Structure 1
Amino acid sequence: MTAAAHDPIKPPSKLLLLAEGRALWEAGAAVALWPLLQLTPRGDGHAVLVLPGLVASDLSTKILRRYLQSRGYEAHGWGLGRNFGPRKGIEQGMLERLEALHAETGRKVSLVGWSLGGVYARLLASSRPELVRSVITLGSPFTGSARATNAWRVYEGVSGQSSEDPRRMRQVEPTPSVPTTSIFSRSDGVVAWRCSVEQPGPNAENIEVVASHLGLGAHPAVLYALADRLAQPEGTWKPFDRGMLGPLIFPDPARPDRS
């Protein structure tokens, strides 16, 4: 989590932070739309490792994992308790979890990371790309200023480390060598959305949704996009097709910023 001193990216406004309360509505919408969400493509059964955000545990990703399981995936939590940052043993624990899933299934593992969990996912993909099938991040600050979030003080408090972390960011910021999708919201009240924008490429893309940061893991549009991305046969990755669902549900992530 580092940035040059001249980085102009600022944290989301206090108004957007207050609007994070809509996460409860977003989770309720997922429950209400659950039958429709079952119409999305089914997966091929490969393992998906889901990594939670800062101070969150596997409980926070329960809806997301349950949905992925309903679509035919082996969805797993990280199993490391609450995410208090990269404290001693955490990175090794995640790596061992990834290696174990790969060994058990004999197949590459997809990584889904929410917020700080997405930073971890990119770190894992950078370290062991041969074990990773794809990386999908949800509102993750993998570029830009270390303090372009409304959570950096919490991060420093619970992790005991500085949010300025050039060593890790040298691994996290470059696009992973595997198919990579960044799902973000311009109305994110915790992470400045510009810090979640990937450089589009042959195997990399952005998907924009209209959601809160705290609701990303249960938002119907996010669940739909996850199912669509994970269902792609290995080796045949194509960019997300917004189709008739945009622009209200999936706005154009490349449109000019008029804020």
Structure 2
Amino acid sequence: MKTAVDRSAPPSQLLLALEARGIWELQAFFASYPLLRRAPRGDGHPVLVLPGLSASDMSTRPLRAYLKAQGYAAHGWKLGPNHGPRPGVEAAMDARLAELAERYQRKVSLIGWSLGGVFAREIARRTPELVRQVITLGSPFANEPKASNAWRLYEVLSERRVDDWPDRDVMKLPPPVPSTAIYSRTDGIVSWWGCREQPGAQTQNIEVEGSHCGLGHNPAALYAIADRLALPEDDWSPFDRSGLRGLVYPDPDRTENSLSLLWPRASAA
């Protein structure tokens, strides 16, 4: 008899409790900052960073400060707390993207944390001519609606049902720009299986060790972001995890391991 992991279930309560690691990951960010500054430098192009559910630009301040130090024009979304796709939010994000593209006369890279990454992919789908690339951080764009420990909060804040998002099948498809999904198998908020891009010529999955709440300042995630943003606009290539990097970045295509014991189990098959 074989018992499979239920990929449609939210992370276990143990993983949810381990989200407290986000505080330690912030401390690790400050401790590793001198090393992070050795990451590839930027070319000055604009970067728009979108926060996760219930979070505001305050949550992405460490990430944006780091990107500015690396040579990017990093900006927040300026829409207050992210309460989901409420009326006017999508139009406001599109306007923010257009404003930055016009100001800098360059395409804009989009970084979205959790729900912000779902938004980023859909913005790129609507206006690919303005987007240089998309990077998501623990974004459940391919998840089942309730494969999350935050779906009830989503319904309260957005005032809509979690399974009412239109075109869910389209959401799972990569946007028509280079796209990188950064995620953690020990994410305690959303199921990591739904945070991965489909294989493609300009898509990639990068796995890091850590929590969901710490992804925006996780040192490994930030280094990977800097590496991706430094790519020439018309010369995208996959993230290289060979050599010593393999000690920091696990193989995202490896089979399920002992971590699966932390996940809810489906019925025996």
8 Å CA contact 2:50, 2:76 repeated in 1 = yes
1:77 is the counterpart of 2:76: yes
SS in structure 2 of the partner of residue 217 of structure 1: coil
Structure 2: 5+ residue runs without aligned partners? 1-5, 261-269
Displacement after TM superposition at 1:245 (Å): 3.5
The answer to whether the 8 Å contact 1:246/1:252 transfers is no
Residue 249 of structure 1: how far off its partner (Å)? 1.4
Partner of 1:3: none
Distance 1:197 1:15, change over 3 A: same
Given that 1:123 and 1:168 are in contact with CA atoms closer than 8 Å, whether structure 2 keeps it comes out as: no
**1:57 and 2:56 matched:** yes
Partner of 2:3: none
**Which residue does the alignment assign to 1:235?**
234
Aligned partner of 2:93 in structure 1 is 94
Q: How far 1:79 moved relative to its partner?
A: 0.2
Q: One-letter code of the match for 1:141? A: P
In structure 1, C-alpha distance between the alignment counterparts of 2:22 and 2:143, rounded to whole Å: 25
Equivalence for 1:179: 178
Q: Answer whether contact 1:49 1:76 (CA < 8 A) is retained.
A: yes
**C-alpha RMSD of matched pairs (Å):** 1.1
CA distance in 1, matches of 2:108, 2:167: 22
Deviation of the 1:169 alpha carbon: 2.5
Structure 2 match to 1:13: 12
Which residue of 1 is the match for residue 112 of structure 2?
113
List per-residue Cα deviations over 1:119-169 (Å, max 9, x = no partner): 000010010011100000000000020000100000001110111135243
Partner secondary structure for residue 133 of structure 2: strand
Equivalent pair of 2:7/2:147 in contact (CA under 8 Å)? no
Q: What residue in structure 2 maps to residue 202 of structure 1?
A: 201
AA partner of residue 149 (structure 1)? S
1: CA distance, partners of 2:218 / 2:241 = 16
Is 239-248 or 54-63 further displaced after alignment? Answer: 239-248
SS at match of 1:95: helix
CA contact (8 A) 2:136 2:182 kept: yes
* Rounded Cα–Cα distance in structure 1 between residues aligned with 2:212 and 2:165: 25
8 Å CA contact 1:142–1:196 kept in 2: the answer is yes
Query: SS of 2:160's equivalent?
Result: coil
Q: How many residues align?
A: 253
CA contact (8 A) 2:26 2:218 kept: yes
Tell me, which stretches of 5 or more residues in structure 1 are unaligned? Answer: 1-6
Mean CA deviation greater in 15-24 or 157-166: 157-166
Deviation at 1:8, TM superposition (A): 4.4
Any runs of at least 4 consecutive aligned residues in structure 1 with deviations exceeding 6 A, and if so which?
none
Structure 2 CA distance for aligned equivalents of residues 171 and 70 of structure 1: 36
Q: 1:151-162 alignment to 2 at 5 Å?
A: 151-162=150-161
Name the counterpart of 1:126.
Answer: 125
Would you say the 8 A contact 1:190–1:213 is kept in 2?
Answer: yes
Tell me how far apart the structure 2 counterparts of residues 68 and 23 of structure 1 sit (CA, whole Å).
20
Q: Which amino acid is 2:252 matched to?
A: P
Rounded Cα–Cα distance in structure 2 between residues aligned with 1:245 and 1:230: 21
State the Cα distance separating 1:201 from its structure 2 match: 1.3
Which residue of structure 2 aligns with residue 250 of structure 1? Answer: 249
Question: Residues 7 and 191 of structure 2 are in contact (CA less than 8 Å); yes or no, is this contact kept in structure 1?
Answer: no
What is the alpha-carbon distance in structure 2 between the residues aligned to residue 178 and residue 199 of structure 1?
A: 13
Cα distance change of structure 1 residues 245 and 155 upon mapping to structure 2, 3 Å threshold: farther
Q: Is the 8 A contact 1:126 1:172 kept in 2?
A: no
Counterpart code for 2:39: T
What is the distance in 2 between the residues matched to 1:212 and 1:125? 26
User: Displacement of 1:200 after TM fit?
Assistant: 1.9
Instruction: Determine helix, strand or coil for the equivalent of 1:103.
Output: helix
Local SS of the residue matching 1:145 = coil
**SS of corresponding position for 1:157:** helix
Counterpart of 2:135, as a letter, is: I
Superposed counterparts of 1:22-33, under 5 Å: 22-33=21-32
1:8/1:218 CA distance change after superposition, 3 Å: closer
Rounded to whole Å, the distance in 1 between the matches of 2:144 and 2:38 is 39
Shift of 1:248: 3.5
Shift of 1:83: 0.4
The TM-score with structure 1 as length reference comes to 0.95
1:82 and 1:134 mapped to 2: Cα distance? 24
